[in-house]
Structure formats: structure tokens, C-alpha cells
Amino acid sequence: MKIAIGNDHAATDLKFIIKEYVEGMGHEVINFGTDDNESCDYPAYGKKVGEAVVNGEADCGILICGTGVGISIAANKVKGVRAAVCSDVATAHLVKEHNNANIIAFGARIVGVELAKDIVKTYLEAEFEGGRHQRRIDMIHDIEN
């Protein structure tokens, strides 16, 4: 699987850890984030990952900023993105199973390294259930259009 990853300055260190972890799981990671700790603007990275996912360059995405909120809001402005902030594994599982989220986000200032790894693993291993959930995804698409 190809996974786009993006981050701002608050999450550079965690991004590199997650990138290595995901590659260790056998996935290809496309890095759209900053690689240093200089202050930068998270919306640019949310947009880049969102566009990569929507245009098929990546199968899904991972976004990391201080809280995960700002960068996910930016990504959700890209038509076709369903980015969800996850601060626990239950949410990571459910956003894929019920919402078919194509991007997850979390905060480097909110979750620790091991929890971040667990969130990513849970999300990547979860599968969309379809059925009644597809009807709701279709409703979201209708709102978007």
C-alpha cells in the first residue's frame, strides 16, 4: 500500500518515527511533510496529502501536527477527503470501519510514540464495513457536492 504522510514543524520527529514504522510494515511512504523543526504552515501539508489521496497517488494518508486538528481541517477542504483525528485505537478502527476515512490525523503533542504506532497499525488493518455505512458516506458526498 502507498501511504502519504504529512506534518508540520510540531510533528517532524514523530513523522520520521511513524514513517519508519509504516515502512517496516511493508508499505511505501510518500513524504509530503516538512523535514525540519522550522515554523511552517500546516494547511499546505494537509492539502498535499489530501490531493495525493484523492488523485490516487496514495491509497490513504497520515497527517500529524500539534493536535491533529488543524491539519485535518485543511485536508478535509480537498474534495473527496474524509480525514479523521484519532487519539485512541478505538477511534482509529471505527473511522475506517464506519466512515471509510481515507486519512487519519493525530497530534504529536497529544499522543505518545507507542500510541501513535498503535493508532496507525489499527487504522491500516481495519476494513470498511460498507452496508448502512456506505449510505452515510454517500450522504456526505452529497453534502460535499
Give the sheet arrangement for strand 103-107, strand by strand: 28-31, 2-7, 60-65, 103-107, 83-85
Catalytic residue among 27, 40, 93, 98: 98
- Residue 86 appears among annotated catalytic residues: no
Residue type, 134: Q
Catalytic residue among 65, 86, 93, 141: 65
- Residue 40 appears among annotated catalytic residues: no
DSSP 82: -
Q: Which residue numbers are catalytic?
A: 65, 98
